[in-house]
Chains A and B, each alone.
Chain A
Amino acid sequence: MQAPRQLYWEDIEAGHEIPQIVLSITYEKAVMVPMATWDLFPGHSNPHYAQAQGQKTIYLNTTVLQGFADRVLTDWTGHMTFIARRKLVMMNSVYAGDRLIGRGRVERVHRTGSGAGAIDVAITLSTDAWVACEVSTTAILPMRQA
């Protein structure tokens, strides 16, 4: 089995683009949201409720978007990445039937107060219709010179 890819803190510079990833939000995926998260708020599972809220149909919850935003980063940096902080700002909904697209850019490479190697990343989650979320994440990466 091939060793998983891993970037180290020293490998990364401000301005690095994080490769785009895409997820099709099929109705099967939408059904898995309450299954995996136990979030039974009806806007995520009942189209009639979602429409009464002014939405097109059922939409993804914040937990799923958090997970996908983290995946945008860790697919690139590798599994030895610790998400230390993430701020996710909702701008528009992601509906069942949409394509969810994630991409990002490294904003800053720095050390934390304890000397750990950190990066600040800006991630955008969008659909074919609009930007769904703007995400800012701080992650701790392993260092070659630990």
Chain B
Amino acid sequence: MPNASDELAASRPAQGSYEDGRKLLGVRSPVNFGPLPVDASRIAAFCAMIEDGNPSYWDAQSSAKQWGRPIAPPGMIQVWTMPLPWTPTGAAELDFMLLKLPLPGSSLINVSTEIVYHRPVYVGETLNFWDEATEISEQKETRLGVGHFVTTVAHFQNESGEPVATVTNIQFRFEPKAVP
């Protein structure tokens, strides 16, 4: 059975110095393509999880009447470009600046996420995104450990290039304090 240290290693972001990380500020990641279109079954699972009975997400006819086409919850925007851990052609992995930015610290945790939605996310469209790091703080110490706050901006669009959302994320890249 995989243990915590195995998974810690598997999910470890790129390692490097603060100066290494700063060299990649403003560099665009490759485009990450969603593997499958936005679909009703995952919307239903998400809404069941948070017990959201909004008819825009459960009733395709009502949703289409209001929005032109059935829509997905806006909170799911990042979901549609997540890769599966196995496919017949190999494991797909996200290739984005947040994880490939070389910095000290083996772990990361989300601090804030600001999303501007340019329009609803429609069922049936396939999303993609690219991101860039725009800011890296100097070293900070928090109750979780010592590390850097990293700001990235991700641009989500559909397969026709229509802008859907802009996501500004701040994460803390850190080395966890030893658990007593």
Contact = CB atoms under 8 A, between A and B. Distances in A.
Interface of A: 4, 23, 29, 32-33, 35-43, 46, 48-49, 51-54, 61-64, 66-71, 74-75, 79-80, 82-90
B45 A52 contact: no
B46 interface: yes
Contacts, number: 130
Nearest to B178: A54
Interface of B: 3-5, 7-8, 10-11, 42, 45-52, 54-56, 62, 66, 73-76, 78-79, 82-85, 107, 109-117, 120, 143-145, 176-177, 179
A32 B61 CA distance: 26
Given A43-B109, A67-B76, 15 more contacts: A29-B49, A35-B45, A36-B42, A36-B45, A36-B49, A37-B79, A48-B4, A52-B176, A64-B75, A68-B50, A70-B75, A74-B54, A79-B62, A88-B114, A90-B109
Nearest to B52: A71
Given A23-B50, A62-B113, A84-B116, A54 B73 contact: no
Contacts of B117: 82-85
Contact of B50 (A42, A67, A82): A67
